[in-house]
Amino acid sequence: MKFPRPRQEQAEVNLTPLIDVVFLLLIFFMVSTTFTRETQLALTLPEAQGTPPEAQPEAVQVLVSPLGEYLINGEKLADNSEAGLRSALLRLGQDKTTRPMIITADANASYQAVVRVMDVAGQLGFDKLSLTTREADDEAQ
């Protein structure tokens, strides 16, 4: 008597569950990843020698007095704190953050007052900051 041989099924790999698992892992890692935006200020460092840059009439002018008082485009701030500086720069408008900002500080102004201007400007989106200097005397060298 002739017995039929058991039929062997061909082994095949089903990739659908594997693709589903990889897709779910991809979604999980995309959702759980935190994207941090580092706020670094791009500074144009001043030089004491050379030709002065051209005047930029559309630039935001911030003056820091020796006593730590701020003048923005010629207007003196009533409140010289960080909040007062922030509100004054916000009054300029958020669309003007692409304009360059020129920071002019007195030689006797505190370092903290200048850093406060740079910090607030960076938080508001200003990324074109310049510091002004005066040309060095030849006698002092």
User: For position 116, what pLDDT does the model report?
Assistant: 92
User: For position 40, what pLDDT does the model report?
Assistant: 47
pLDDT by residue for the chain (141 residues), tens only, comes to: 788 888 888 888 888 999 999 999 999 998 888 776 554 434 343 445 555 556 566 888 888 888 888 888 888 888 888 898 888 888 877 677 788 888 888 877 888 888 999 999 888 888 888 888 766 555 544
User: Residue 92 corresponds to which tokens in the numbers above?
Assistant: 């300029």
Q: What residues does 129 pair with on adjacent strands?
A: 43, 101
* 113 contacts: CB under 8 Å, gap ≥ 6: 64, 68, 70, 105
Q: With contact defined as beta carbons under 8 Å apart, do 104 and 65 qualify?
A: no
Using the structure block, give the residue that is written with the tokens 């144009």. Answer: 44
User: For position 119, what pLDDT does the model report?
Assistant: 92
User: For position 55, what pLDDT does the model report?
Assistant: 59
Side-chain-facing half-sphere of 26: CA atoms under 13 Å = 6
Q: What is the DSSP letter of 84?
A: H
| Domain architecture of the chain: domains with CATH | 43-131 (3.30.420.270)
User: For position 52, what pLDDT does the model report?
Assistant: 55
Query: Of 12, 28, 31, 10, which is closest to residue 20 (Cα–Cα)?
Result: 28
Please state, in angstroms and rounded to a whole number, the distance separating the CA atoms of residues 80 and 89: 12
